[in-house]
Amino acid sequence: MSTTSVPGSLPAIDAADGTAVRVIAVASGKGGVGKTNIAVNLALALAQTGESVLLMDADLGMANVDVMLNIRPQYDLYHVITGEKTLDEVIIEGPLGVGIIPAASGIGRMADLSVHEHAGLIHAFDEIGRRVDTLVVDTAAGISDSVVSFSRAAQEVLVVVCDEPASITDAYALIKVLSLEHGIRRFQILANMVNDAEHGRRLYARLANVAGSFLDVSLGYVGAIPLDERLKQAVRQQSPVLLSYPHSPSGVAFQVLGKRIKGLPRLPAASGHLGFFIERSSKAQQVAGGVRP
Ligand SMILES: Nc1ncnc2c1ncn2[C@@H]1O[C@H](COP(=O)(O)OP(=O)(O)OP(=O)(O)O)[C@@H](O)[C@H]1O
Ligand SMILES: [Mg+2]
């Protein structure tokens, strides 16, 4: 596997076609709007299109991906950081061949990682021994350091909104912070729990209007997932709706979403990095052996 790197980030793993790994951070600002369901089902939908997918649980406070998939990881990112395990050793083979990276439950905040731990992670991603086309990252609610770091590392920041005033205002606050303080200009908006397609477009329009008036950002619309009792049922059964009820309204919508995300233009290799934990720590790169040309 070939790797590339630029200053300030981890080496990117090249996807099968020679482009960078597409890192998609699923974020929302407000909690409980459907991020984990979207991350899990999007990862599966992309796998259905033939992509090789990794799904990373970056909700460090409350790891949810393992609950949703009914898996009980013995090891997680924490063991990678401490050097007890390689990344390959903690990846769990999920449905449809999706590799699951369990959350680092032993760590409160990514920002608290030491230089030594940063270095361990650089090495871990460098050594990953599998083809990766897309890495889907399920982030925590709020605008914590970890959400910022994952969003900065992503090619696509997928902002999930639903029809609640706090969802729209929190999504706006997230976009504002990421754009003004971290230079992220491009966002993809996904409406969740909508009644119909028009409902989703209206939510997008509300957010796009206010963002367009006050921020220098570009918001794309990648569609909507309907409010679906089958999805709730699937959550209770700890089986993703795409697998348990593929013909349900949300199951079908996730398949459409997967194709749409797959169709988004891939950015050049230098833009896609797994450099979540390193951006602010040049010292850590020196520990890891420096940035290669
Ligand atoms: N499209 C949908 N239709 C019906 N219910 C939904 C839908 N999306 C999410 N839900 C409900 O919302 C709950 C929360 O979803 P999820 O855990 O994916 O949100 P989250 O944004 O990851 O939450 P947190 O911020 O706590 O991590 C689900 O358990 C489910 O009951
Ligand atoms: Mg969640």
Tokens (6 digits) for 217: 């950002």
Lowest model confidence (mean pLDDT) among 61-65, 163-167, 232-236: 61-65
User: Which residue, judged by its Cα, is nearest atom 30 of ligand 1?
Assistant: 232
CB 26 within 8 A of CB 151: no
Asked if pLDDT for residue 98 goes beyond 60, the answer is yes
Q: Is the pLDDT of residue 165 over 80?
A: yes
Is the pLDDT at 234 greater than 70, yes or no? yes
| pLDDT for the residue 123 | 63
- Best of 26, 36, 42, 57 to mutate for ligand 1, by most ligand atoms within 8 A of CB? 36
Q: How far is the CA of 35 from the centre of ligand 1 (A)?
A: 7
Average pLDDT of the chain is 82
Under the banding of pLDDT at 50, 70 and 90, the label for residue 147 is confident
CA 239 to chain centre: 19
User: Residues 269, 270, 272, CA angle at the centre, nearest 5°?
Assistant: 70
Q: What is the pLDDT of residue 92?
A: 94
Residue 254 has pLDDT above 80, yes or no: yes
Assign 103 a pLDDT band (cuts: 50, 70, 90): confident
**Residues 99/55, Cβ–Cβ less than 8 Å:** yes
Per-residue pLDDT at 223 = 97
User: Using an 8 Å Cβ cutoff, are 121 and 39 in contact?
Assistant: no
Ligand 1 pocket: which of 30, 33, 35, 37 to mutate (most atoms <8 Å of CB)? 37
pLDDT at 34 over 50: yes
Do residues 248 and 270 lie in contact, with contact meaning Cβ atoms separated by under 8 Å?
Answer: no
DSSP 95-116: GGGPEEE---TT-S-GGG--HH
Distance 33 CA to ligand 1 centre (A): 5
Q: Name the percent of the chain lying above pLDDT 90.
A: 54
Cα–Cα distance for residue pair 92/95, rounded to 1 Å: 10
